[in-house]
Chains A and B, each alone.
Chain A
């Protein structure tokens, strides 16, 4: 498995502001992923964070709204920009440590936007 530290664990934010979520892994990994999970729903992939290149976004998600950084092989950030109440959700990072398609998740960030 992998030890993944994600922070903040939760936050309450005002409409129109931005929040940056951090994900730190205890070892170098090639693939890092960012998901959104609405209450009681499944996981929706936002983007794949690639080291040394731009993130690859899934349909319905754009870089201006969810900019992602991947400065090295152990760290990534996801920013939720210009937030609205519809952005209230759980945001999860995950890694595919051994390129086995098995993913290990951070504890998640519970975001509420007022």
Chain B
């Protein structure tokens, strides 16, 4: 069945450093979504990418969708302590979502 792989599983950075997480699907996706879960919190929708090669920005966050619509990345520029949490990508399967394993970001202030 459809699988969504995400790397790295963990990333620890110094505050101010950049951070990137990568997502790969075993099948072509109609769209890909990113969610953020703060420690002790619940997943919160960040963004949806639909078009091949699409790039979207939210302040210091840059999201990309690959040309083949099978991979995606999330890049955070100059991390801040508020960026701490686990970032999940998710791809649709029928009317459900398949979530990646998540990348847990910790930051040393």
Contacts and interface: CB of A to CB of B under 8 A. Distances in A.
A67 B57 CA distance: 41
Contacts, number: 45
Contacts of B99: 42-43
B66 interface: no
Given A33-B96, A42-B99, A42-B102, A105 B48 contact: no
Chain B, interface SS category: strand
Contacts of B44: 105
Interface string B75-99: 0000000000000101010011101
A102 B43 contact: no
Contact of A100 (B42, B48, B100, B102): B48
Contacts of B96: 33, 45, 48
Given A31-B95, A48-B96, A101 B102 contact: no
A107 interface: yes
Interface residues of A, number: 22
Nearest to B104: A40
Contacts of A107: 41-42
Interface string A83-114: 00000000010101001111111111000000
A65 B33 CA distance: 31
Contacts of A33: 96
A31 B95 CA distance: 8
B87 to A, nearest CB: 11
Interface of A: 1, 31, 33, 40-43, 45, 48, 92, 94, 96, 99-108
Interface of B: 31, 33, 41-45, 48, 88, 90, 92, 95-97, 99-102, 104
